[in-house]
């Protein structure tokens, strides 16, 4: 077992004022930034209410509250155990930092999100995902979580234990995640090609085929008549087309690098044109060393059962004119089913419909309502960290919703980790 540690920083007292996108102003009066586990336990035990903030890449008030607690002052403490194929790190570590440590040991994660700068604990808590019809969301790689609970005690829950499936995607409502243990595998290479001009006459009826045609596939679109652009990531050694520029369902590969948003400079994007490279340098859409934008955007996402994917796409095409003025780009992805109680993919293979909007809060809220009406017949589940109508009724789609409420009452009976957002959803 090998350990690498980050550098601790001095305590910070100025509370963060807004989220990454700048569309939400926080109401925090104080900011806690412990530098050791002992400080973390003491601070948690002393507070009647607090919420954990990570990379602040949420677009709603899910992380807002009275007292902010950041894990950024703690060392990443990445522990790699090649024998058991496990990596353990601080909840505040980013996927970029984690990937760098794994690569040094010849190991890899099965999946990554498109943005490498987000925190591991935050992604797990909200069921954040990458893309791949055969791949679960990032939370499905969790082998164990160690929480600091409301009394400052440590509580570890491990895969196979009764509370595990409920505690992984926890919306910040159970405690502070101090350590995360994840499954890893031997390092592998991926080759990426981009295919503009895939028409709706192919993409809509053959949606499931398209999304399952490679290790990871993302379809970018504005829902207009031009159709989609396919970003295809093939695993070298597993896909005979990896490293080639073969057509994708009839659409030719681009011969110059592309950005997901047409017209944007692709300098921050991961390498394309079929050149094989490390999993960490191909699975995200954006390079590890780059923050992909200045945050001048708002994001939404809804997940529908895979069998409803083509109909959901048709419904969104029908409202193109209503949402186009606010939309920068949409992304269609597939994610495999899991058994985690509050995962948006719980119990069903999923087609995920992502929207990157311009930063116009009122306009985007109205556009999101249009999308929700269009998808209403297809049992949509929202991404917990992205903008949606935040109706408590969304939990009706989760069979274990009441079991999660009971779990929260056992773990946090005083609701130390509750804020207005979670209270509206769970109380």
Q: pLDDT tens across 310-329, in order? A: 999 999 999 999 999 999 99
- What is the full DSSP assignment across 172-212? T-S-EEEEEEEE-EE--EEEEEEEEEE-HHHHTTTHHHHHT
Q: Could you tell me what percentage of the chain is helix, strand and coil, using 3-state DSSP and rounding each to the nearest 5? A: 25, 25, 45
Average pLDDT over residues 17-29: 91
Q: Give yes or no for residue 12 having a pLDDT over 70.
A: no
- Number of folded domains that form the chain: 2
Domain extent, residue 381, equals 189-387
- Per-residue pLDDT band for 292 (boundaries 50, 70, 90) equals low
pLDDT (mean) for 258-265: 93
User: Of residues 5 and 51, which shows the higher confidence score?
Assistant: 51
- Would you say residue 194 lies in a domain? yes
Check pLDDT > 90 for residue 190.
yes
- Which of 165, 187, 209 terminates a domain? The answer is 187
- Specify whether 269 is located in the same domain as 323: yes
Q: Which H or E element spans position 80?
A: strand 78-81
Please compute the mean of the pLDDT values over residues 361-367 and round it to a whole number: 97
CATH of the domain at 250: 3.30.70.2520
Which residue among 187, 212, 243 closes a domain? 187
User: What does pLDDT average to over the chain?
Assistant: 93
Ranges 31-35, 115-119, 261-265, 419-423: which has the least confidence: 115-119
18 assigned to some structural domain:
no
Same structural domain for residues 245 and 300? Answer: yes
The pLDDT confidence band at residue 6, using thresholds 50, 70 and 90, is: very low
* Beta-bridge mates of residue 100: none
Average pLDDT of the residues in 263-272: 93
Burial 170-205 (b: 16+ CB within 10 A, else e): bbbbbbbbbbbbbebeebbbbbbbbbbebebebbbe
Are residue 164 and residue 300 in the same domain, yes or no?
no
pTM of the predicted structure, to 2 decimals:
0.94
Query: pLDDT tens, 403-413?
Result: 999 999 999 99
């Amino acid at each position: 077992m090998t350990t690498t540690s980050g550098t601790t920083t001095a305590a910070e007292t100025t509370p963060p004022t807004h989220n990454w996108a700048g569309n939400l102003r926080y109401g925090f009066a104080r900011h806690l930034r412990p530098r050791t586990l002992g400080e973390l336990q003491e601070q948690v035990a002393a507070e009647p209410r607090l919420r954990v903030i990570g990379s602040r890449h949420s677009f709603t008030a899910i992380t807002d509250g009275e007292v902010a607690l950041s894990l950024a002052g703690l060392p990443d403490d990445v522990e790699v155990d090649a024998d058991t194929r496990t990596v353990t790190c601080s909840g505040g570590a980013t996927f970029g930092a984690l990937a760098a440590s794994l690569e040094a040991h010849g190991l890899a994660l099965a999946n990554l999100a498109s943005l490498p700068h987000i925190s591991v604990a935050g992604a797990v808590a909200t069921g954040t995902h990458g893309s791949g019809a055969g791949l679960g969301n990032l939370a499905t790689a969790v082998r164990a979580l160690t929480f600091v609970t409301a009394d400052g005690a440590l509580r570890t829950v491990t895969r196979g234990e009764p509370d595990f499936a409920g505690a992984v995607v926890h919306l910040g409502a159970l405690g502070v995640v101090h350590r995360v243990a994840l499954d890893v595998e031997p390092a592998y290479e991926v080759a990426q090609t981009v295919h503009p001009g895939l028409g709706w006459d192919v993409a809509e009826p053959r949606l499931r085929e398209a999304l399952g045609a490679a290790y990871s596939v993302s379809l970018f679109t504005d829902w207009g008549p031009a159709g989609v652009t396919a970003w295809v990531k093939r695993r070298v050694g597993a896909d005979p087309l990896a490293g080639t520029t073969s057509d994708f369902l009839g659409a030719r590969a681009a011969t110059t690098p592309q950005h997901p948003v047409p017209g944007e400079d692709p300098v921050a994007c991961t390498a394309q044109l079929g050149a094989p490279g490390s999993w960490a340098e191909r699975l995200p859409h954006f390079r590890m060393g780059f923050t992909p934008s200045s945050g001048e955007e708002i994001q939404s996402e809804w997940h529908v059962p895979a069998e409803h994917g083509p109909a959901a796409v048709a419904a969104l095409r029908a409202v193109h004119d209503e949402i186009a003025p606010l939309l920068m780009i949409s992304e269609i992805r597939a994610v495999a089913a899991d058994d985690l109680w509050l995962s948006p993919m719980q119990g069903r293979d999923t087609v995920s419909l992502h929207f990157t909007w311009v930063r116009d809060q009122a306009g985007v809220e109205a556009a999101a309502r249009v999308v929700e009406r269009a998808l209403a017949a297809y049992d949509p589940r929202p991404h917990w960290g992205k903008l949606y109508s935040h109706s408590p009724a969304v939990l009706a789609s989760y069979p274990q919703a009441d079991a999660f409420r009971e779990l929260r009452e056992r773990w946090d009976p005083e609701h130390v980790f509750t804020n207005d957002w979670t209270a509206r959803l769970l109380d």
